[in-house]
Amino acid sequence: MVPSLQKLLAALRRLPGVGPKSAQRIGYHLLRATREEATELARAVVALKDRVGLCSVCGNVAERAEGVSDKTPLECPVCADPRRDSSRLLIVEEPYNVEAFQKTGVYDGLYHVLGGLFDPLAGVGAVELGLDALARRVSGGSFREVILATSPTTAGEATASYIHELLKPLGVTLTRIAVGLAPGADVDYADEISLRLALEGRREYGSIGR
């Protein structure tokens, strides 16, 4: 195989869900694609690294406006929206979970993105998830309710439980999304209806046995 194709296939194989066969299919597709299509992809990857980062307030994905210095802290569209209800905070694992909850159309509060879940084997704990910053945000804010919306998996429940203990002394109402998701299901794969039901059916943390 020619070196440029080999290099591209190696770079593609590093992407999640792309094995040798898919890398090959994508590589040969790009070989046949127009220069515009290929350039657009390459540019989009570079632009992502140049302009997109995490919101300094909530950890959601945020984009830098053109011409703004990369030293300026980023603010995501949700945090920048003054119409959001600042008395509620919904805690999720990943930025794409924010997208999913936004699509339900039944939540207009703020978010906090953990960027993961407890994972002792990978060395991910309270420090790595920045839970001290979360506690500072909640104690310094005017939240009446904090919704724990991590996946109902072992790691998601462990993380929710820890955050519950951490925020309990702050006197806010802590709720947990509940119905609509099967135990063991991943928030990322749930449809909008299930997510909406889970959101609407939330109960005060600890009020239901699991």
Binding site for its own copies (CB under 8 A): 1-5, 7-8, 10-12, 14-18, 21-22, 24-31, 35, 37-52, 61-63, 76-77, 94-96, 99, 189
Nearer residue to its own copies within complex by CB, 61 or 90: 61
| DSSP string computed for the chain | --HHHHHHHHHHHTSTT--HHHHHHHHHHHHHS-HHHHHHHHHHHHHHHHHEEE-TTT--EEEPPTT--TTSPP--TTTT-TTSEEEEEEEESSHHHHHHHHHHS---EEEEE-SS--BGGGTB-TTTTTHHHHHHHHHHS--SEEEE---SSHHHHHHHHHHHHHHGGGT-EEEE--TTS-TT--GGG--HHHHHHHHHT-EETTSS--
Nearer to its own copies among residue 25 and residue 203 (C-beta)? 25
Of the pair 51, 164, the CB lying nearest its own copies is at 51
- Smallest separation, CB 183 to its own copies (Å): 20
Q: How far is the CB of 28 from its own copies (least distance, A)?
A: 6
Nearest-approach distance from CB 43 to its own copies, in angstroms: 7
Q: Rank residues 99 and 204 by Cβ distance to its own copies and give the closer one.
A: 99
Least distance CB 96 / its own copies (angstroms): 6
